[in-house]
Amino acid sequence: MLIKSLRSLFALMVLVFGLGLASTSAMAAAEQSSSQQATAQTSEADLWRAVKAGESGSTTAKGVERGVLINVVGEQGREVRNKYMTPVMAIAVVGVFVAFLLFYFVNGPSRLSKGFSGKMVFRWSKADLIIHWCVAISCLTLIFTGLNIMLGKHVLQPYVGGDIWAALIYGSKTIHDWVGPFFIVAWAVLVIKWLPDQMLKSYDFKWFLTVGGYFNIGPLKGKHPDSGFANAGEKMWFWTLAIFGLFIAISGVMMVLPNLDLPREASMAALLVHGVSATLIIAFTIVHIWMATALSEGGMECMVSGYCDENWAMQHHNLWYDEIKANGTLKYRED
């Protein structure tokens, strides 16, 4: 009887010990599994933090940025373009146009103080007219297509159908890409050909002080400053076109050529430089068109026929008129 009781007690102890050992093993396994899961989660979180931060790794892809899954610079550039560049471009276009429209209604155009003489003086050659209109037409084409690319989704897309918008944006991008090289060539010829007449002179600063004699009201009324072949305003427009046209040409080539395997930083820098330069040229183009057409009586005739009225020459470019009259190169149009 005692031996049987001892056997039962021993069996019970073995059973209890076995259950305890199994429980301990299960708990240890559970703790190890939880630890492994926590480690895996931490490693995965660290991995994605690194990816989002733009850290590079190793991939089988080929290219300049083959090891970068998410490019931080590209995202930052997109944010700068959408938050700052697009609104500034819209403000520049609308603001400059409205400002000159108000100036025109308040001040009126710059009239010829002696009226039209009827005598037309030679000013621009046929080659000058051709290169001017090549630059003008290509520049305006790039401006309108570029504005649609940058601002069209805010101005046009909400009011047209999806098919129409797709055609507009595709057409704008295609035209922009193909007209760009033509503009670059015409721009280069214009800059080289017109450069000698665009150097700043001491009297150009007086032109700015009197705003070119365009005021019909106030203390500046009737003040016609001295000017050579190109006045100070035209020179400012020329140098804006020359400098920022160069930036547009270089950045445009960087973005369009497919074989240039550029890092995202360079591509985004090109996009931002292109946008800023385009904004400045658009603003100055609006000013140039206003000054040459509505605000200057007789001014548009120069770029249509190559001749200007003699009184217009004496009022707006008196130093140039005196020069060609003195050296015998004054040439009238034969009607």
Q: What is the pLDDT of residue 185?
A: 97
Q: How far is residue 271's CA from residue 264's CA, in Å, rounded to a whole number? A: 10
Q: What is the pLDDT of residue 214?
A: 82
Backbone CA torsion sign across 151, 156, 161, 166: negative
- Better-predicted residue by pLDDT, 170 or 210: 170
Residue 223 predicted with pLDDT over 90? no
Q: How far is residue 322's CA from residue 335's CA, in Å, rounded to a whole number? A: 23
Task: Answer yes or no: are the C-beta atoms of 316 and 127 closer than 8 Å.
Answer: no
Q: Whole-prediction pTM value?
A: 0.77
- Better-predicted residue by pLDDT, 299 or 80: 299
pLDDT digits (tens, 9 = 90+) for 83-95: 777 888 888 888 9
Q: What is the pLDDT of residue 128?
A: 96
Q: How far is residue 227's CA from residue 291's CA, in Å, rounded to a whole number? A: 15
pLDDT digits (tens, 9 = 90+) for 90-145: 888 889 889 988 988 888 888 888 899 999 999 999 999 999 999 999 999 999 99
Q: How far is residue 78's CA from residue 140's CA, in Å, rounded to a whole number? A: 26
Residue of 63, 77, 79 lying closest to 263 (CA atoms):
63
Residue of 204, 192, 234, 189 lying closest to 319 (CA atoms):
204
Residue 71 predicted with pLDDT over 60? yes
pLDDT digits (tens, 9 = 90+) for 256-298: 886 777 777 787 888 889 999 999 999 999 999 988 888 888 8
H-assigned helices in 156-217: 162-194, 204-209
Task: Point out the least confidently predicted range of 93-107, 178-192, 226-240.
Answer: 93-107
How sure is the predictor about 47, in pLDDT bands with cuts at 50, 70 and 90? low
Q: How far is residue 257's CA from residue 56's CA, in Å, rounded to a whole number? A: 26
Arithmetic mean of pLDDT over the chain:
82
Which residue segments constitute the domains of the chain, with CATH numbers given?
Answer: 75-326 (1.20.950.20)
Q: Of all helices (H) and strands (E), which one includes residue 65?
A: none
How sure is the predictor about 74, in pLDDT bands with cuts at 50, 70 and 90? low
Q: What is the pLDDT of residue 63?
A: 55
Contacts of 244 by beta carbon, 8 Å cutoff, 6+ apart: 277, 278, 280, 281
Tokens of 77: 């550039």
Residue 30 predicted with pLDDT over 70? no
How sure is the predictor about 38, in pLDDT bands with cuts at 50, 70 and 90? very low
Q: What is the pLDDT of residue 267?
A: 79
Tokens of 200: 């700043």
